[in-house]
């Protein structure tokens, strides 16, 4: 079982667009455990917060716009 991070778009929930390169091809990023996905999400939020503090971004991400779900795409 693998997990993915989804983002709430105007049309509904979808893959957050994080990718990893495998053999020169971009693929959706998947995590082996919920803890790994949560750690990646927390790292992202920390980076955004640092960018806001440094005045490189206007606002922080809304945590409620992200969720971790089981990946059903056969990865």
Contacts by residues 29-38 (CB-CB < 8 Å, ≥ 24 positions apart): 29/4, 29/5, 30/2, 30/3, 30/4, 30/71, 30/75, 31/2, 31/3, 31/4, 31/5, 31/68, 32/2, 32/3, 33/3, 34/3, 34/68, 36/3, 37/3, 37/4, 37/5, 37/68, 38/68
**pLDDT value at residue 60:** 66
| pLDDT, averaged in runs of 10, over the chain (75 residues) | 91 82 78 94 85 76 85 70
Which residue ranges make up each domain of the chain?
Answer: 3-70
Could you tell me the pTM of the whole model?
Answer: 0.75
């Amino acid at each position: 079982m693998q997990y993915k991070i989804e983002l709430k778009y105007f049309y509904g929930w979808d893959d957050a667009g994080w990718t990893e390169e495998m053999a020169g091809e971009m693929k959706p990023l998947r995590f082996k455990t919920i803890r790994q996905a949560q750690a990646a999400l927390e790292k992202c939020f920390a980076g955004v917060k640092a960018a806001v503090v440094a005045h490189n971004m206007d606002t922080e991400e809304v945590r409620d716009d992200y969720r971790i779900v089981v990946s059903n795409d056969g990865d």
